[in-house]
Structure 1
Amino acid sequence: MPSIKSLAATLATAIVPFALAAETIHESEQASFSVETVASGLEHPWAIAFLPDGSQLVTERAGRLRVIRDGKLEKDPVAGVPEVAARGQGGLLDILLHPEFEQNRLLFLSYAHANDAGMTTRVARAELNDNNLENLEVIFEAEPRSDTTRHFAGRMVIPDDGYLYVTVGDRGEMDRAQEFGDDAGAVHRITIDGNTPDDNPFADRDDARKTLFTKGNRNIQGMTLHPETGEIWSHEHGPRGGDEVNVIEAGTNYGWPEITYGINYSGTPITDQTHKEGMAQPLHYWDPSIAPSGMAFYTGEDFPDWQGDLFVGALKMQKLVRLELDGREVTGEEDLLTDLNKRIRAVTMGADGHLWLLTDAGNGEVLKLVPTER
């Protein structure tokens, strides 16, 4: 029978590796950091929002809105979430708080919805009171619907102009991205009540949807505001190669599928053109594809050398990408967290000044990056 001393030594050696693993230090070119797990047990979390009281709201693609309070995931989801079609890539997607949330309690949810005519992307507005969504109203619905279960997009931002910008993917039917009478493959601009601003770039075209702000976008799953210029930056999935980073500008056609740096998943060409007059070039692209999702500019104080860098999550390549910028020019690129082996769905600057991540898995996690000593 082993002695108490030998048992204690065995226990100590078992505990030490676990403790070291919990404090794994990740080295960037410009920073040293660890990854803190805030919450786990989420079913394919998609987006996160930070409430004024310091708690967080997280969407699960299965159709639940969860609350993290005081660092703990609450058991009961928020009541009153709209009916969601969690099929294929569809489900409950983005969440965005109104800039004056403290006063009006308004938030916005994007999600996939299904009926007899097929599936589509919707946006609903509601008031959050206690643990309930009240006065929920659908303020945007992309038309026409489709039977496909792909490329719903769904990212949202509200810049300084006070309008809501929402992305809609091409629904896996690429030619729709160049059809101006179709809501697919685009960024849309609406008021918070769901009305169409009079100065939308295609509002005077008889053949165009009035809410269109851009066209030729394949599937934008990252969108954020530049902290200094207020510009809307985005990235979108390419097919096999050709993921893009773009600045979203009124009336711009981003070219999909008439121009692309990618090819079909089968290996066959989509087009032999990467440039075309009247269509925008990306600021940056990846080939092979990293399957980008989520993006944020770093504006915190923990990592001074990261100030102004753009961070992008990767699903397929399972990493966090840091892009160094000089204005709109990408001057450097670094891959981080390649050893986590986790699909990164969302990248968000938290109200606490930390960079927060969501991992896309059946047992998805909420993570944040915290500084460590080199």
Structure 2
Amino acid sequence: MLYRIALAAVALTAAAACNGEDSAAVQPVAAAPTPTPSPSPSPSGTPVAGTPFARAVVADFDAPWAMTFLPDRRMLVTEKKGELLLVSADGSARRTIATIDVDSAGQGGLMDVVLAPDFATSKRVYFSYSAAGQGGKGVVLARGVLSGDAGAERLSMIEALYRATPLVNGDGHYSGRIAFSPDGQYLFFTNGDRQKFTPAQDKGGSLGKVLRLTPDGKPAANNPLAAQGFLPEVWSNGHRNLLGLAFDAQGHLWQQEMGPKGGDELNLVLPGRDYGWPNVSNGSNYDGSDIPDHAPGDGFEAPKVWWNPVISPGGLMVYSGELFPQYKGDAFIGGLSSQSLVRVDLNGINATKGDQWSMGARIREVEQGPDGAIYVLEDGGDSQGRLLRLTPAS
């Protein structure tokens, strides 16, 4: 297995492209005085050839990374450069409610954003970002409070809760996805391998792992790998670059991650399991050298679905709405290099490939709206950065 370690410095291809510490790293700012207008969506949208969707452009952003909906249907949107935006429900206006001091080189930047389970009373917002510190860079989990009168809100009381360890050099594979357990008691947080390969198997660090934390960012009690010498926050290990994390209606935790040259994965995340990276993968190294495939009895947890050629998976969402009844319970994945929206049939603890629809742009994020529509964020950069609302084509 050691022959692969030397390949850690090999540059990523488009199959692995994706958007990325001290107490002064986060600075809240007051709301901008003048809203920035955005294009309003067409009520019915425009049919998208080869798909079951009609598409309406809601807004346009500068390299967006993630989004979430507030109870009043307004949206929080993160931009790679460090801007957290509060966007009106129709996308026609936005304000910057916080500017985060991120390290945005390479795949770094302001990343995920989710509401606390008790947001209605606490007004807490959780987010992740990449930051530089002594010895290198890493992903940070943070939270703040949405405060202020309507129309003048800002994110205040910002605090860093958890920092990946160790900090390492490089600008890739931060991951940084956040998901709360259905009971609201636990926060799951992904830490990528930072393109360093072996940290995914290292018991002394958080890289290449799914973590289970308390809402305050502390290790949750009784995590399954602590007795084996792992950090007490580790839930599963052997991951590469985990860019999607979501629970289904049955309480199963799903995550998708980018493989190397091939072998993108959708995994059912189980406590204490080793998902094999870098020892096994259904892809190959970037120089074409082989990595052993997942095989029965190899001691590693195999993906439920994998792709070769790659889709370059971005955000992950499990659909629960009524607007697309035929897709209820299915997983939706944004495709980056594949410029696609990917659907996977979930059936209990099993999954099978569904559709892969061409979207004509890199898709970074997928979310379900309060209206049951599917919202996707394009990646920006070489692509566009639009927020699209997908409804059934008539």
Q: TM-score, normalised by structure 2?
A: 0.83
Give the drift of 1:304: 1.6
Q: 1:93 aligns with which of 81, 86, 111?
A: 111
Give the drift of 1:295: 1.3
Do 1:91 and 1:111's aligned partners in 2 also have CA atoms closer than 8 Å?
yes
Residue 62 of structure 2 corresponds to residue 55 of structure 1: no
Residue 140 of structure 2 corresponds to residue 122 of structure 1: yes
Superposed CA offset, 1:138-196 (max 9, x none): 11001110111000001110012411100000000011101111110000111111222
Distance 1:332 1:75 in 2: 37
Give the drift of 1:289: 1.3
Partner residue of 1:5? none
Q: Which moved more, 1:209-218 or 1:294-303?
A: 294-303
Distance 1:313 1:76 in 2: 26
Mapping of residues 1-374 of structure 1, within 5 Å:
23-28=46-51, 32-40=52-60, 42-79=61-98, 81-130=99-148, 131-161=153-183, 162-205=185-228, 207-227=229-249, 229-271=250-292, 274=295, 277-336=298-357, 338=358, 340-362=359-381, 363-373=384-394
Give the drift of 1:235: 0.7
- Give the aligned CA root-mean-square deviation in angstroms: 1.9
Instruction: Name the SS of the counterpart of 1:253 in structure 2.
Output: coil
Instruction: Name the SS of the counterpart of 1:204 in structure 2.
Output: helix
Give the drift of 1:197: 1.7
AA at the equivalent of 2:169:
D
Q: 1:367 to 1:116 in 2, by over 3 A?
A: same
Structure having the higher Rg? 1
Do 2:78 and 2:113's aligned partners in 1 also have CA atoms closer than 8 Å?
yes
Give the drift of 1:300: 1.5
Do 1:149 and 1:171's aligned partners in 2 also have CA atoms closer than 8 Å?
yes
Do 2:282 and 2:291's aligned partners in 1 also have CA atoms closer than 8 Å?
no
Do 1:258 and 1:273's aligned partners in 2 also have CA atoms closer than 8 Å?
no
Q: TM-score, normalised by structure 1?
A: 0.88
Do 2:255 and 2:269's aligned partners in 1 also have CA atoms closer than 8 Å?
yes
Distance 1:314 1:133 in 2: 30
Distance 2:78 2:199 in 1: 28
Distance 1:211 1:368 in 2: 37
Give the drift of 1:26: 4.0
Structure 2 residues without counterparts, runs of 5 or longer? 1-41
Do 1:125 and 1:138's aligned partners in 2 also have CA atoms closer than 8 Å?
yes
Partner residue of 1:6? none
Give the drift of 1:27: 4.6
Do 2:252 and 2:349's aligned partners in 1 also have CA atoms closer than 8 Å?
no
Q: 1:332 to 1:287 in 2, by over 3 A?
A: closer
Instruction: Name the SS of the counterpart of 1:160 in structure 2.
Output: coil
Q: 1:272 to 1:106 in 2, by over 3 A?
A: closer
Do 1:259 and 1:276's aligned partners in 2 also have CA atoms closer than 8 Å?
no
Do 1:140 and 1:194's aligned partners in 2 also have CA atoms closer than 8 Å?
yes
Do 1:261 and 1:274's aligned partners in 2 also have CA atoms closer than 8 Å?
no
What percent of counterpart residues are identical?
A: 36
Structure 1 residues without counterparts, runs of 5 or longer? 1-18
Give the drift of 1:117: 1.6
